[in-house]
Structure 1
Amino acid sequence: MSPLSSVSSRPSRPWSRIACTAGLAMVLGLSGAFGPFVSVAHAATAETTAELDRLTEQVAQAQTTHSDAIARAIELNDQIAQQADEILHLEQDVMPVYRERAAEAASRLYKMHETSGNIISLLFSASSFSDFITQMKYLNAIQDDNASVLADLEEASAELNAKLAELTQAKDDALSEEQKAAEALDQVSAAQAALEERAASEDAAEAEAARKAADEAAAIQAQMQQQYEQTSAATESADDVISQQPEQDPAQDATESETPQESEPAPETPQDSSSDSESGWMTGVASHYGTGDGLMGSLTASGEPVTETSMCIAMLDVPLGTKVEIRYGGKTVVACVNDRGPYAHGRVIDMQPAVARALDFISVGVGTVEYRIL
């Protein structure tokens, strides 16, 4: 039998569609109401964040400048110390030696003049004129050499002192730059701290606005849920009215003609069922829905959707939430009544997909089952 033959004549539920439409309209209204406020909060935060990023970059640059100035001052200080050491070495170790040599040479020259008398005596004491010239050149060379060395040492000392003064001035300039860099770093750091405090305040304000929006949305959702429950109650009432005026399912005639005689419902009752008073078991005609009929996902009378795993059934006169045990083909399942139906003449139970599959009833479509109310 084709699965299409199991489709029940289920009335549409205009109240459910109205409730869904109203809910969608309210949600869209909420989006329009809360959207601008949230956008403004994000815009303000973005502006603050951009300014904070700019100040953070300035802080990094100021830190680099300050570090470079400190490094330059340290380097110049090392050079000054080295230069001072060179000057000290020249003045304490080198120059005294050459001064002593010059003094000794002068002393020897003086003694030679005393012993020799004068240049004439030196001339007469020389073995030859050539020897005299040699002695004179020797004396002059000693004097010139000592004088030259002393002059070079004096010049080197002057250069070292000039270099020391230059390095000292450079160090003072570097310390001044370091001070300026430190002041600039303090300024941008203070501005950064103030902006971070402002950003934190804006974040707190945005979070508070989001919380209020969520509270308002929750309140509206609760109101919509209440309206939905009222709509469901109205829908159930409408279903009860429709159930009092059942319509003959055109597919039922063909189905009943193919069903064995012993499973056909009695014509005089709209719901053919027989009961065993001792065990509570009854028999009746059942069908299924939610597979291939476009009703998958539709809302039941209890507000639950029809799903592939729905272990529920529809019955007309059994309270919602009642447990019903069903037997068919040697298999037994327990299902819950959460919907109203079937509205086809002579049927007692309309199974949802999971119940029909558990009883291997999908391919049957319409057939007689045993059931009892638990």
Structure 2
Amino acid sequence: MPAAAAWADGVSDAQQTLDAAEERLAQISQEHAKLQDEADGLQDQIDDAVEGVLEAQGEVQEGRIRLGDMMSYEYKTGGVGVLKVLLNSENLSDLLNNLHYVDSVQKAQAEEIERQRQREEAFASALDDMNKKKDAQMAKIAEAEQKSAEAAQVVSNAEAQLAKAQDEAAAAAEAERLAALKAQAEALAAEQAKAAAAEPPAEQPQASAPSEQKPPASNDSASNGSNSQAGGSGNTGNSSGPAVDQAGWKTGSASAYGSTTDGTLGKPTASGALVTETSMGVAVPLSWPNARSYLGRQVEISYGGSTVVATVNDLGGMGGGSRSLDLQPGVWKAFGASSCFDWGVRTVSYRFL
């Protein structure tokens, strides 16, 4: 075959290869942009859903306090039983009045228990709705990541096919088009890297006690370590680094603080909010890149079959990032701990909303 004809065939093959690559990359870019827009739109829905969850969660916590006070009063007073009413009644009129009082107390208790059941159901429903939206968003983000990877593969395949032709003149003739494809694929990769930067890094792995917990449910026992203050080094606990799934859940270590003993109760956090007996805040490590950007963000935490939504309002040393979260009193109490020392350091599942 004449050299001119071979060169023409080489150019034609190169053009066809790049035509197909450009067409597919254009489709991928459109699909990627659509997925990103859908993920951003879902974030608005998630933000609205989080407000509902926080409101419902607050009502549940207030209800638990009321029930606790009611049960505490019953315990301290010995309750109001029929026998006690009979013994304390001097006449029939007193007996009837006292029986009416007992009936009213029992009805009030039953009504408060029923209201609490309804509050718990409302919280569970709001949480389920929020999680469905967050799961849908994470699925869109995962699809977008796949599109970005596919774009890189399209460019790599096109480059390989041109190299196979072993026709330097043909490859050179389409070099600018290939460079443009590479730039387009790199732009998609940069968008994904920017999105990934908003997520926390993995914990620093340690050699002992690897966690086998899978999100969203974690239920290990408390460590024997003492609690750590948000700004102190404290007990680092044991962790092999968090496992991550496509729904954005991570598994990591969580310590606790907020007592008169550790000196943090009543103290201001990095955001200016005070640590109180009921504060639903958490601290994240100062060692995380752009750690202050997490302030004000909500984080969903799962442990022992229970889920709590807390707000990041503090920053701490936390063993140089060997722990992911430091829980304030409202959070560790919601998980059933009696004190931050009782909580110690435990493995939880969490994801930022």
Whether the TM-score (by the shorter chain) exceeds 0.5 is no
Structure with more helix by fraction: 1
TM-score of the aligned structures, taking structure 2 as reference length = 0.35
TM-score of the aligned structures, taking structure 1 as reference length = 0.33
- Which structure has more relative contact order (CA 8 Å, sep 6+)? It is 1
| Structure number with bigger Rg | 1
